[in-house]
């Protein structure tokens, strides 16, 4: 005869409270209006951009040495910053004002002033839409890079690519909607969180491809498996997963099932896609595929073009990484000329070739290109108060980015910083504004693209953001 089960008063109360909480939670799910649990998907209006290419410069590009001409810096070179308040800097060093290390001059028919730091891109000035009035909320690389990609300084929020994947999906069955190609030398500050799906379903996280070596790790089994055995194994696994998923509402399992199915299709696609040896000689030459120091980024740019033309919704290229080593990113604390000159030589020629290639193929008309950095750099040196040194500190108060392609007014500059380039003062642009504009060009209303999470209707643009209609054609 079974012995009676003894239940303590504490255990009974704990089980009762747990049951009550579960009942309340379960009832709450059913009582909540249907439109709060759903997310807006699909374009809300005609899109000008079918796809997005995002180039991220990690470390902080100096706008006053690249896309934001400040003649006052030459006149005041070596003088103290004329301000009653001590400028806020990351390392607390405010040296003398310093002239740009590269000369600015008007470019193309538009007359946009761009420095000699990017000679190849400067030739394409008439394709560019420069925003000179960006500002961010932090001078720390990691939260600033998070904000650049997700709109939030904290980690765990979905990035732009994940939102586009969720809202629009991919145009190809055998490739992901969102692909990331990191710098071969290291990951950006914060690592893979910069391409996270956050609270969106897991299938919308960025899929990492390498432009050198093995494109995707673990895509193929470590040892050959007979085709019939592989098919049977996959069929069995699929049946078991479907039975498991049918009994449980498990979004992670669904995402893993979709990932396995996509990986199976990618096994036939990725090897050919990543084989750049079939590119014609003119492409190899124009991108600089066989020319150091730009060969690595040239491979990334060529792979990005092939992904975009095969239906990938967003491709993200990173330039710079492995923080803690200033020699492999744009963090020019010690010497801007040495640091930026080296990094620009890696990306200038390949990126200009990619823009020309997209234009020649008729793809730039419906491809949106973004060229961003997490913040800018100070117009004064990172040195002692009476010193004139070669480096510049972080500057989130004002910096430049540019866009090109679908739906934009090319050959213009929007907004401005102050006389010295320290602070955005005219038509200031927050990351929420830029993200709202990108979504608009993709046919999405940033206020309607929402996802209910943790009791909040979440958006890429949080509770702000405005579309920059003055940038649009």
Instruction: List pLDDT tens digits, range 213-236.
Output: 766 666 666 677 787 877 777 777
Could you tell me if 86 and 94 are in contact, meaning their C-beta atoms sit under 8 angstroms apart? Answer: yes
Q: How many CB atoms within 10 Å of residue 13?
A: 10
Distance CA 344, CA 326 (A): 14
Q: Tens of pLDDT along 1-33?
A: 444 444 555 554 444 444 443 333 333 333 333
**pLDDT one-digit tens code per residue, 233-286:** 777 777 777 777 777 766 666 666 666 666 667 676 777 888 888 899 999 999
Cα angle vertex 303, ends 297, 306, to 5°?
145
Over residues 300-329, the mean pLDDT reads: 90
Encode burial over 307-326: b for 16+ CB neighbours within 10 A, e otherwise: bbeebbbbbbbbbbbbbeeb
Handedness of CA 246, 249, 254, 257 (dihedral sign): negative
Question: Would you list the domain boundaries of the chain?
Answer: 43-225+284-471
* Residue 245 token pair: 């998923």
pLDDT of residue 177: 95
pLDDT of amino acid 241: 73
Q: How far is 448 from 163, CA to CA, in rounded Å?
A: 12
CA–CA gap between residue 408 and residue 346 (Å, rounded): 27
**Contacts (Cβ under 8 Å, ≥6 apart) of 76:** 82, 97, 420
Q: Which CATH architecture is the domain 43-225+284-471 placed in? A: 3-Layer(aba) Sandwich (3.40)
Cα angle 338-185-203, degrees, rounded to a multiple of 5? 135
Question: Which has the minimum average pLDDT: 11-15, 104-108, 296-300?
Answer: 11-15
**Residue 105 to residues 68, 284, 414, Cα–Cα distance (Å):** 11, 30, 17
Q: How open is the CA angle 318-158-50, to the nearest 5 degrees?
A: 70
Average the pLDDT over each of 26-40, 59-73, 138-152, 306-320 and give the range with the smallest value. 26-40
């Amino acid at each position: 005869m079974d012995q009676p089960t003894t239940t303590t008063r504490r255990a009974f109360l704990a089980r009762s409270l747990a049951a009550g909480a579960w009942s309340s939670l379960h009832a709450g799910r059913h009582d909540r209006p249907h439109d709060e649990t759903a997310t807006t998907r699909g374009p809300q209006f005609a899109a000008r951009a079918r796809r997005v290419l995002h180039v991220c410069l990690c470390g902080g590009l100096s706008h006053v040495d690249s896309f934001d001409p400040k003649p006052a810096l030459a006149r005041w070179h070596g003088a103290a910053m004329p301000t009653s308040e001590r400028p806020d800097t990351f390392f607390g060093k405010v040296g003398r004002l310093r002239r740009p290390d590269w000369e600015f001059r008007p470019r193309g028919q538009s007359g946009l002033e761009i420095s000699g730091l990017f000679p190849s891109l400067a030739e394409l000035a008439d394709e560019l839409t420069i925003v000179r009035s960006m500002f961010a909320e932090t001078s720390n690389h990691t939260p600033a890079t998070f904000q650049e990609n997700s709109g939030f300084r904290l980690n765990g929020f979905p990035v732009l690519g994940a939102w586009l994947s969720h809202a629009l999906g991919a145009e190809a069955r055998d490739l992901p909607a969102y692909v990331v190609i990191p710098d071969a030398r290291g990951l950006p500050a914060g690592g893979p969180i910069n391409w996270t799906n956050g609270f969106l379903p897991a299938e919308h996280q960025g899929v990492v491809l390498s432009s050198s070596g093995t494109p995707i790790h673990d895509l193929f089994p470590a040892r050959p498996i007979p085709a019939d055995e592989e098919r049977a194994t996959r069929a069995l696994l699929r049946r078991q997963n479907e039975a498991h998923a049918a009994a449980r509402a498990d979004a992670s399992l669904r995402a893993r099932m979709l990932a396995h199915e996509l990986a199976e299709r990618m096994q036939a696609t990725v090897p050919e896609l990543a084989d750049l040896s079939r590119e014609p000689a003119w492409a190899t030459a124009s991108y600089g595929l066989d020319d150091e120091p730009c060969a690595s980024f040239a491979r990334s740019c060529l792979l990005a073009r092939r992904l975009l033309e095969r239906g990938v919704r967003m491709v993200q290229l990173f330039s710079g990484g492995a923080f803690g080593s200033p020699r492999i990113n744009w963090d020019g604390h010690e010497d801007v000329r040495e640091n930026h000159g080296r990094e620009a030589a890696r990306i200038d020629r390949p990126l200009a070739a990619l823009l020309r290639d997209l234009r020649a193929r008729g793809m730039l008309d419906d491809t949106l290109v973004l060229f961003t950095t997490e913040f800018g750099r100070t117009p004064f040196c990172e040195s002692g108060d009476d010193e004139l040194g070669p480096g510049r500190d972080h500057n989130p108060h004002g910096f430049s980015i540019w866009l090109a392609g679908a739906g934009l007014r090319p050959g213009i500059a929007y907004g401005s910083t102050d006389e010295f380039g320290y602070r955005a003062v005219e038509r200031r642009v927050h990351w929420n504004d830029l993200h709202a504009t990108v979504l608009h060009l993709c046919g999405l209303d940033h206020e309607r693209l929402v996802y209910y999470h943790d009791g909040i209707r979440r958006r890429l643009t949080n509770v702000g953001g405005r579309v920059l209609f003055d940038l649009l054609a």
